[in-house]
Structure 1
Amino acid sequence: MRSKLEWRPARVIQIETPAEDVRAVTFAVEGLRSAFDPGSHTNIKVVIRGEPAIRTYTVLPSAPGTSTIAVKLHPNSRGGSAFIWGMAVGDETEMTEPENRFELSWRASRYLLIAGGIGITPIYGMAKALVGRGQSVRLIYGAKSRAQMAFADELGELLGDGLEAYIQDEGRTFDLATEFAALPADGEAYICGPHGLLEAARNAWRKSGRSMSRLRFEVFGDSGRFAEQPFSVTIPQYGRTFEVRADQTMLDALTEAGIDMVYDCRRGECGLCAVNIVDASAPLDHRDVFFSPEERHEGEKMCACVSRAVGGNVTIDTGYRLEARRV
């Protein structure tokens, strides 16, 4: 289980639209400290189908006492983005103090930043911080269309030739192997984007022979392989089966039902919420970046916070033993 989050009252004070289907919402947050590092994220309380829920978003560079998040209205959203898009100036909720698990090392001679779509949100803050400290930085930014590139104009002014846009509708895609080869030995790459981009980057980085400690990433969204579908989860040690809605994660469904779970990041990065798979009647959609492709193929474990069954039922072992809890 995770340590208790410290929630702070928050009120919407500004709403902007930096790109097609992207809304930037600024909150005045009570008791918020004045500064936080680029790549930080915050938790926010939302309401989905009339029920309270928690969603996590990157915090953009913000004025003291405020937190700004940029949210894409995603067709496969589990409800969080729809809630944020429905907010108006003056609306109130609660948010947590920003925390960072996607930190810049400040040790590299050159930085390569890679963003796919709304993955620009942590990368945008990193670019500003690196330029502000006079660091050598290049940003490659991919999106389906130019209209969907949030903060592109500002980043262009900031980075000049250090920014290169790759537009899918224009037939341009990343050449990761060439980008990685251009980095010096002590260079580092930071990447945020959809699951497929993360996998391609990890594979290209491994082939380059570079240390994996110098590739840092953050993932968001679905894998792109399957549409969201409801499924069920059976836990034999509890003798119960639980339903997981299409707009809900397995982790949320189980914790809401009172099942003890270990978890932390809720983004498929830390692996703490991984459960053992006993049996599955449907394909598994692994959306984490914790397990290797080989481990996902073996199908012995899955991260409850992001991964799903594609309909049907999956039987799992959470690792908890009821007998031990009764001692």
Structure 2
Amino acid sequence: MRSKLEWRKARLIDVAYPAEDVRAMTFAVDGLRSTFDPGSHTNIKVTIKGEPAIRTYTVLPSAAGTLKIAVKLHPNSRGGSAFVWQLQPGDETEMTEPENRFELSWRASHYLLIAGGIGITPIYGMAKALAARGQSMRLIYGAKSRGQMAFAGELSDSLGAGLQTYSQDDGESFDLEQEFAVLPANAEAYICGPHGLLEAARNLWQKSGRPMSRLRFEVFGDSGRFIEQPFDVEVAHTGRSVTVRADQTMLDALLEAGVDMIYDCRRGECGLCAVSIVDASAVVDHRDVFFSAEERHEAQKMCACVSRLCGGRVLIDTGYREEAAA
């Protein structure tokens, strides 16, 4: 289950490179509504190994009638970033009307924005929107090197002292515990970056005693721990077995095989697509932020939309029973 996707014809009209291995692409999109909120994302149709697929990217602020995305060429890519990187001006594809599951609340007295690497994409739009309204805010932005910090120069010009950058190559890192400790009581934090950063932020926020509703995050599907491998999935009580390719998610493979699934976010946040793990012959690579660290360690469930097996076979139970449905 998910909201209905409204597809539009899109033509690439501009390409830029705001950082190392980051390609920013602007598309002219037919019938696009005029505005969308920061944190929104779009789906784009790609072709991977000759097969059609869909990938999701944050939309950046851009002119009316256009959608702009910034994509990092990931070494462990399942094929989406490689496809969009080879697009040239004039090439056509299809994109969806943006939707938003990472919205600013506009209710806080102060906003702490945190970006790790290409996680700057939704944070960038939020920072610009907050600055335009004169909201109290601070943005901390970390990456492996300063050359990998997309939009850092532009953000520095607009935010001034409100931006603090940290480069791992320079031995710099930010102290999330201290950052959270000095926030006003009704402040909110918005974070996007690698899985480890999100997990650390969630644990430290909870430790601080602050309401979890005031910590918002956007998830990357790649945990960075393992390279994608194909694996087999057997669905208990159905007799169905499917192979999940290295370039597809378990959720997509199950849906293509006609397995009934409940799902929504496709980003490991909502937990609707979680399945029970009956038996697994290899390590489960959990890439969600729905389950706690303890739950992921127990490996009794996994989010089908992002998590996967490191090869081998897994027997799952979706909880669906034909006799119950009847």
Task: Please give the range of the TM-score, normalised by the shorter of the 2 chains.
Answer: over 0.9
Return structure 1 stretches of 4+ with deviation > 4 angstroms.
none
Give 5+ residue unaligned stretches, structure 1.
none
State yes or no: 1:238 paired with 2:245. Answer: no
* Structure 1 residue 249 corresponds to structure 2 residue 249: yes
Deviations 1:141-197 (Å, cap 9, x if unpaired)?
A: 000111110000000001101111110101111200111111100111100001000
What's the TM-score, normalizing by structure 1? 0.97
What residue number does 1:284 align with? 284
- How far apart are the structure 2 equivalents of 1:67 and 1:319? 39
Q: CA deviation at 1:4?
A: 3.4
**Pairs within 5 Å for 1:154-193:** 154-193=154-193
Normalising by structure 2, report the TM-score: 0.98
1:119: which partner in 2? Answer: 119
- Give the Cα separation in 2 of the matches to 1:237 and 1:52: 30
**Is there any run of 5+ residues in structure 2 with no aligned partner, and where?**
none
Stretch moving more, 107-116 or 3-12? 3-12
* C-alpha distance in structure 2 between counterparts of 1:9 and 1:105, whole Å: 31
**Who is 1:92 aligned against?**
92
Instruction: Please list the CA deviations of residues 249-307 of structure 1 after superposition, one character each: whole Å capped at 9, or x if unmatched.
Output: 10111112222211111110111111111111111111101111122122221100100
Report the 3-state secondary structure (helix = DSSP H, G, I; strand = E; otherwise coil) of the residue aligned with 2:106: coil
How far, CA to CA, are the matches of 1:152 and 1:118 in structure 2? Answer: 11
Could you tell me how far 1:3 is from its partner in structure 2?
4.3
Rounded Cα–Cα distance in structure 2 between residues aligned with 1:154 and 1:77: 28
- How large is the RMSD of aligned CA atoms in angstroms? 1.1
CA-to-aligned-CA distance 1:208-237 (integer Å, 9 cap, x gap):
111111110001142122222221111132
Q: Secondary structure at the match of 1:191?
A: strand
Q: CA deviation at 1:324?
A: 4.2
- The answer as to whether partners of 1:194 and 1:221 remain within 8 angstroms in 2 is no
**SS class of match (1:124):** helix
Partner amino acid, structure 2, of 1:27:
F
Q: Does the aligned pair in 2 maintain the 1:116–1:142 contact within 8 Å?
A: yes
Letter in 1 for 2:132: G
Counterpart amino acid of residue 108 in structure 2:
A
C-alpha displacement of 1:19: 0.6
136-145 vs 288-297, greater mean Cα deviation: 288-297
Kept after mapping to 2: 8 A contact 1:9/1:92: yes
Structure 1 counterpart of 2:60:
60
2:223 is the alignment partner of 1:223 = yes
Identity %: 79
Where 2:95 maps in the other structure, the secondary structure is strand
Which SS does the other structure have where 1:222 is aligned? Answer: coil
Whether the 8 Å CA contact 2:284–2:307 is kept in 1: the answer is yes
Deviation at 1:16, TM superposition (A): 0.7
Q: Deviations over 1:37-94 (max 9, x none)?
A: 0000011111111111111100000110110000000011111100110101111111
1:311 shift after superposition: 1.1
CA distance in 1, matches of 2:319, 2:43: 27
Contact in 1 for aligned 2:2/2:265 (Cα 8 Å): no
- Between the aligned partners of 2:255 and 2:73, the Cα distance in structure 1 is 26
- Paired with 1:44 and 1:122, the residues of 2 have a C-alpha distance of 17
SS state at 2:192 partner: strand
Q: Which residue of 1 aligns with 2:17?
A: 17
Equivalence for 1:271: 271
- Aligned mates of 1:80, 1:225 — CA distance in 2: 19
**d(CA) in 2 for partners of 1:290 and 1:138?**
26
